[in-house]
Amino acid sequence: MHRLEERVPSQSRSSVKIGYVGGGSHGWAHTLVNDLLQCDDLAGTVSLYDVDYDAAERNARLANSLADRPDANGAWTFEARRDVDDALADADYVICSIQDPVEETFVHDIDVPQEYGIYQTVADTVGPGGVLRSLRAIPQYREIAATVREQCPDAWVVNYTNPMTVCTRALYEEFPDINAIGLCHEVFETQRLLADVAERYVDAAEDVAADEIEVNVKGVNHFTWVDEAYWNGRDVFQYLDRELEERKPIPGFEPGDLDGESYWTNHHQTAFDLYDRFGLLGAAGDRHLAEFVPWYLDIDEPREIQRWGIRLTPSSARTGDDEGPAKMERYLSGDEAFEFTESGEEVVDIVRALEGLEPIKTHVNHPNRGQTPDLPTGAVVETNAVITGGGVAPITAGDLPREVRSMVLTAVNNQETLIEAGFAGDLDLAFRAFLNDPLVTVQRDEARDLFADLVDLERDYLRDYDLEGAAVLED
């Protein structure tokens, strides 16, 4: 994120209403509270809506107690709402961060494909898991967009939910006049990587912060690419050949080497392998990049992927985090103090920019209006944009090389097919996208069985689809 002018003095305080869909979360909601209460030129109301009302109410209680602290800035009131219409009524901004119960959905997305020999490192964007997650998300995002249309048609909607591209695209398909963007961390991690490169090779580059690195980014979420990088106007991208040589051999690990590391470890082996092959740097975490092509995850057992400096994330890692609710109780009881921190998140900066306080330049997910000329118009793409009081203006990123574009187009076309299937409730059409996914490398009959198994296990979350009339589900 790059600020474009000096910060406006705090005397000019802007009052807004923020509606939060998924406001019972222990992650994004706490981050939003943390950031709002450190901002001295915004004030207003945050209405928290969640299907788990009690979770939203606990977050509201915690946030209001924090707002009363002497070290908190701004005049904010937090409230929990039982009805999404009430939460979004007359909102200036809407934030979305939702997730279905992991044990009833995400666990199946990860575990069932492995029974068919298909391994996924994340399973939330592409692959069999990404397809099912898309099918579950589309009806929910249609409902959010419809509520925005009725309750706050001029609001800006910020989406954090994966699959980012499909969720953001569904908002626009349901309500074409919506104002919406999607935000993701992955390019920031690439900027941190490039900051390290600058420190190693650029004269006088010391203690380079990630947000000092200017990149030209293009592609789709989690499959983004960088072809330019600068620090203080000096070309950093030119040093990637030297950095690549320093990192070779790639892959540089053996199965078992990473057994003691975090499931989320990232050594940028995939990003640099893509650079070596195609001349552009993969601008997302390796765990995401690996899922968009068939060759990295063509493995026979989980530890083989460690050759590329990453690990598979087992379903147990998605269900084993009970710390959130316990920490919340400690906060509410006073047994543990909530510490304000520098989160690095951008949503408050974006609100400030849209309020006309301080424009910024950052990367966003937004429908293609020509910023990526060689990708389909209307598809949600990820590029830089300038955000001001006048709105969000994507910056032209240029074309992708043909061989890279062909891979990105596979993802775009599958996502567009899933949108069509989701709006029609058509599982047979969804299965065509499933078959076309690069990770679905099994025979067609096996792919059909896998798809049917996943749908059957998650059918309670797929009730907007024609479950009885789908040929793909017939015995």
Residues designated as active site? 185
Residue 238 neighbours by CB distance under 10 Å: 12
Q: Kindly state the helix (H) or strand (E) to which residue 48 belongs, with its residue range.
A: strand 42-49
Write out the H or E segment, with its range, that includes residue 271.
helix 269-278
Q: Measure the CA–CA gap between 155 and 52, rounded to whole angstroms.
A: 24
Residues 6+ apart with CB under 8 A from 310: 121, 258, 265, 266, 267, 269, 270, 286, 287, 290
Phi, psi of 384 (to 5 degrees): -70, 155
DSSP 43: E
Contacts (Cβ under 8 Å, ≥6 apart) of 216? 226, 227, 228, 229, 384, 397, 398
Q: Tell me the DSSP string of 68-117.
A: TSTT--S-EEEEEESSHHHHHTT-SEEEE-----GGGTHHHHHHHHHHTT
Partners of 16 in the β-ladder: 44
3-state secondary structure string across 140-186: HHHHHHHHHHHHCCCCEEEECCCCHHHHHHHHHHHCCCCEEEECCCH
Q: Token digits for 181?
A: 């963007």
The three-class DSSP label of residue 212 is: helix
* Rg of the chain taking only CA atoms, in angstroms: 22
User: Which pair of tokens denotes residue 356?
Assistant: 């006309």
